[in-house]
Amino acid sequence: QVQLVESGGDLVQVGDSLRLSCAASEGTIDNKGMGWFRQGPGNEREFVAYIPRRNGGPVYADSVRGRFTISRDNAKNTVHLLMNSLKPEDTATYYCAATNGGYSWRRRDYAYWGQGTQVTVSS
């Protein structure tokens, strides 16, 4: 069993940067692929970024590629999402998720989820 806890959400201005964190309060994530998803007002929860267990490059949604960076520290059981050049359309609740499989953009392939952290980008 893995319990995930996100943090770092905040109210920011357009163009600002923000770093989200996801920590495993129970269990370990070093053997799991990790993803970030987000759900904006009235929208479906959508894929944002993925990072594999160890080797291999990250994967990003087109809407965030070049602005967001996902990283992980297996020794600290944490995953981060650095978000630069934030836009109003980035406003959403951001969720961390863990998968026992490889890369996937589908929510159903992630077995473990955090409770979410709110990011609001004000213009």
CB 92 within 8 A of CB 117: no
pLDDT one-digit tens code per residue, 61-91: 999 999 999 999 999 999 999 999 999 999 9
- Average pLDDT of every residue of the chain: 96
pLDDT (0 to 100) of residue 77: 94
Query: Stretch 47-72: mean pLDDT, rounded?
Result: 95
Nearest one of 34, 22, 112, 20 to 68, comparing CA atoms: 20
What percent of the chain has pLDDT above 90?
A: 93
Phi, psi torsion values for 90, nearest 5 degrees: -85, -5
Query: Stretch 33-44: mean pLDDT, rounded?
Result: 96
pLDDT (0 to 100) of residue 18: 98
